Each structure stands twice: as C-alpha cells, then as structure tokens.
C-alpha cells in the first residue's frame, strides 16, 4: 500500500540485507531500517520495530536467511531458530514460519542452503500477500451486503493494527476495507487507539489516512456507546492465534469489543490467513499470553509543539501495573472467520471445512 503516494511493502530483501519500516517511529517519522544479522531480526521483533502476526513470521523467515549469511553452520542455525521463536510468544505465525523454514532446510547441503532459504522466505512473503488479498475479496462481500441494504456509509470498527503494516501488504482486517474503498463503496473506520502502545492511533489511522480512507480515532472504551447509538455496522479485527475450535487470541481489549458487539447485535468478524491457525492447542488457557514491560503503561510518547518526540510518565512512580498484551475472544462471540479460502463459522467444523 502507499505512503505519500509511493507503494511500499513492510519488509524486503536487498543486497543481503533485510529492509524494514521501523514502526516504533511511526507516525511521526518514516524510517527504513537495515537488519544485517539474525540478532537484528530478533531485536526488531522484540522491541516491535516490526509487529503484527504475519509480519513477525516473515521477519523470522528472513532472520534465518541472515543467520546463514552470517555463519553457514547447522548449530548456529538451530540456535537462531530457537532465539527467533522465543522473541515474542503469542503470535503463532512466528513459530509457523520458523518451523516451515527449518523443515525446508533439513538435510540440505551447505552449498545450496542459502538459495533454498531465501527462496522459501520469499515464498512465505508472497503467499502472505496473496492470502491477504483474498481475505480482502471475501470480506468485501460482507461490506458490500451492508452497503446495499443501508445505501449509506458503512461504519467499521477495528482494534489494534491488523492493517498492511502488520502484514506484508493489504493487511487482514483492513484488506476488505481497502477493497471496498477501491470499489467505490463509502466506508468510515472507527479506530480504537489501542493502549498502551497505541497501534490503532499510531498505525491504523496513519495507514488509512495515506490511502484516503475516512477514519476517526476513539478511546478504547468508546466502542460500546457507539454501538448502542447505532454508529457501528460491523467490527473486523485481526488475530495473533486462532485455535481450531474458533477461539480468537488478539490484542488486549478485543474481547470487550466482542462482548459489546454481541449485546448490540453487531456482526463481529475476525480476518486471518491460515498461518495464524494453531491446530495443536485445544484450550485457550494454554496460549502463552505476552506480558510486556510496565513502562509501556506508565509512559506515553508523542511529539511536542516543535515536532520533537517526547516521552512522559503519566502515573505515580510507585504505582504497580500489569501489562497483558493479548486476550481471548471465545468462538461463540465471533460471527465468522474471514480467511484466504473464504468465510467460515468460528468452529472446528467451520475451519476444517475450509482447510482439509
Ligand atoms: O502487539 P502487536 O502490535 O504485534 O499486535 C498485533 C495484533 O494484535 C494484530 O491484531 C494481529 O497481529 C493481527 S495482524 C494482521
């Protein structure tokens, strides 16, 4: 998608270097950063220069390529794969991408390994782009249906950033929105700010602005009243891990939106590529929920009147905090899953029907 009218992807490989858009600087500064080593890739995932389940997976795949360039040694590659997997715990795409790469590289000789690794990393990236595009085409039908009934702007609420910045291109939750906009359907997006890291306000609003899509940032607690007032037609969110029973793990606060949507009879959809499905875990209590640094809660960052980035503390130094990064929305609150293969019920039957 576009930034200042120029088309970008979130990650690419050039002259043995991985290039990323440093998302910790957005929306105030657009900076492309080089990842030269596997350590750089691990760090970029950990400190969230790249974030969002599919993009984390792609970065890990390229991280393994960097590991081979650095030292073509199986022991080093294995250690790199373990360090990558543990860099963030919740999004399943990370382990999925590393496992896929390691399976492809198993038994490959030293001479061919770099080319095979690079081809596989590129395949993961291209596949994500086409999956996200297909998610958009499936989700477009839902938005179109609402528009045809309403004959007026479709108001969509989204949480966190499941936009193109969280994937390689198109996004998951935003892909149907981009497709609808390109088809001339009038859409408006309610963007949850998504405390504490503000992925909604900093990233979703930014990328929608760049594509010329009307959007309004709201506090995380405002969705309920907007739904009661009839100002939300549909919710579409992304996910970091969806279980085979249809339970959806996503950014903290998603669950509360789903409860509110249920109470107000508003369709609540989750958009995901199949790389986000965890076929192994049966009980959501087994999902490792990331607990992040309390500084993300105690401090906020923004620009002052001189356009300088400042970070300030917002509550007493002595106060304790708990910063859980994700929650789980039970399948019963989810209207449907929008995938690259079409839309299905959030259930084992629904998912297995699409993904044999
Ligand atoms: O902590 P983040 O910013 O990596 O969390 C991102 C999300 O929760 C997204 O909704 C999810 O990864 C889906 S991205 C298409």
Could you tell which of 26, 48, 160 is best to mutate to test the pocket of ligand 1, judged by most ligand atoms within 8 Å of the CB?
A: 160
Structure tokens at 19: 């290039």
Please compute the mean of the pLDDT values over residues 32-44 and round it to a whole number. 98
* Packing angle, helices 53-70 and 113-150, rounded to 10: 170
- Please identify which residue in the block is written with the tokens 């929008």: 338
SS3 353: helix
Question: Given CA atoms 200, 172, 183, 130 in this order, what sign does their dihedral have?
Answer: positive
**2-127 shares its CATH topology with 139-354:** no
Question: Relative to the CA of 325, which ligand 1 atom is closest?
Answer: 1
SS3 14: strand
Please compute the mean of the pLDDT values over residues 52-68 and round it to a whole number. 98
Q: What gap in Å lies between CA 143 and CA 150, rounded to an integer?
A: 10
225 confidence band (pLDDT: 50, 70, 90): very high
Q: What gap in Å lies between CA 37 and CA 65, rounded to an integer?
A: 9
How many degrees, rounded to 5, is the angle at CA 288 between CA 285 and CA 289? 90
pLDDT at 75 over 90: yes
pLDDT at 356 over 90: no
pLDDT digits (tens, 9 = 90+) for 122-144: 999 999 999 999 999 999 999 99
Active site residues: 240
Strand (E) or helix (H) holding 254: helix 254-263
Strand (E) or helix (H) holding 270: strand 268-271
Please compute the mean of the pLDDT values over residues 291-319 and round it to a whole number. 96
pLDDT value for 9:
98
Kindly compute the dihedral angle of the four CA atoms of residues 75, 77, 78, 80, in this order, to the nearest 10 degrees.
120
Q: Tell me the C-alpha to C-alpha distance, in Å, between residue 197 and each of 86, 188, 251, 284.
A: 21, 23, 11, 24
CA 192 to chain centre: 14
Q: Tell me the C-alpha to C-alpha distance, in Å, between residue 5 and each of 2, 130, 211.
A: 5, 22, 8
Q: Which of 265, 248, 260 is nearest to 337 (CA)?
A: 248
Please compute the mean of the pLDDT values over residues 287-312 and round it to a whole number. 96
Question: Relative to the CA of 132, which ligand 1 atom is closest?
Answer: 15
Distance from Cα 260 to the centre of ligand 1, integer Å: 20
313 confidence band (pLDDT: 50, 70, 90): very high
pLDDT value for 70:
98
Distance from Cα 302 to the centre of ligand 1, integer Å: 21
Distance from Cα 37 to the centre of ligand 1, integer Å: 24
Domain residue ranges of the chain, discontinuous segments joined by +: 2-127, 139-354
Could you tell which of 58, 132, 239 is best to mutate to test the pocket of ligand 1, judged by most ligand atoms within 8 Å of the CB?
A: 239
pLDDT value for 273:
98
Query: Which CATH topology does 139-354 take?
Result: Rossmann fold (3.40.50)
Q: What gap in Å lies between CA 280 and CA 146, rounded to an integer?
A: 35
Average pLDDT, the chain: 98
Q: Which of 41, 96, 28, 34 is nearest to 68 (CA)?
A: 41
Q: What gap in Å lies between CA 100 and CA 179, rounded to an integer?
A: 30
85 confidence band (pLDDT: 50, 70, 90): very high
pLDDT value for 336:
98
| Architecture category of domain 2-127 in CATH | Up-down Bundle (1.20)
pLDDT value for 198:
98
């Amino acid at each position: 998608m576009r930034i200042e009218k120029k088309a970008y992807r979130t990650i690419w490989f050039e002259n043995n270097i991985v290039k990323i858009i440093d998302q910790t600087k957005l929306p105030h500064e657009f900076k492309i950063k080089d990842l030269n080593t596997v350590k750089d890739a691990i760090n970029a995932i950990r400190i969230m220069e790249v974030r969002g389940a599919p993009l984390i997976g792609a970065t890990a795949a390229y991280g393994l390529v960097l590991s081979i360039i650095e030292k073509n040694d199986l022991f080093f590659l294995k250690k790199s794969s373990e360090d990558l997997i543990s860099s963030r715990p919740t999004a399943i795409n990370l382990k999925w991408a590393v496992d896929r790469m390691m399976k492809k590289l198993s038994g490959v000789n030293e001479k061919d390994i770099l080319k095979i690794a690079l081809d596989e990393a590129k395949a993961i990236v291209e596949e994500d782009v086409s999956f996200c595009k297909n998610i958009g085409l499936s989700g477009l039908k839902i938005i179109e249906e609402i528009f045809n009934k309403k004959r007026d702007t479709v108001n969509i609420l989204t949480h966190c950033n499941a936009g193109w910045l969280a994937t390689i291109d198109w996004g998951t939750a935003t892909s149907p929105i981009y497709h609808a906009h390109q088809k001339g359907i009038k859409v408006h997006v309610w963007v949850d700010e998504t405390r504490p890291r503000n992925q909604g306000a900093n990233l979703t609003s930014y990328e929608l602005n760049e594509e010329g899509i009307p959007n309004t940032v709201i506090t995380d607690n405002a969705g309920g009243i907007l739904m009661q007032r009839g100002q939300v037609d549909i919710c579409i969110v992304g996910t970091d891990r969806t279980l085979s029973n249809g339970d959806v793990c996503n950014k903290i606060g998603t669950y509360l939106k789903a409860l509110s949507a249920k109470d107000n009879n508003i369709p609540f959809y989750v958009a995901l590529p199949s790389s986000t499905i965890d076929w192994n875990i049966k009980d959501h209590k087994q999902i490792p929920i990331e607990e992040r640094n309390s500084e993300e809660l105690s401090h906020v960052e923004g620009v002052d009147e001189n356009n300088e980035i400042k970070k300030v503390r917002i509550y007493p130094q002595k106060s304790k905090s708990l910063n859980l990064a994700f929650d789980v929305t039970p399948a019963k609150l989810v209207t449907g899953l929008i995938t690259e293969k079409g839309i299905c019920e959030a259930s084992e039957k629904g998912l297995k029907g699409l993904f044999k």
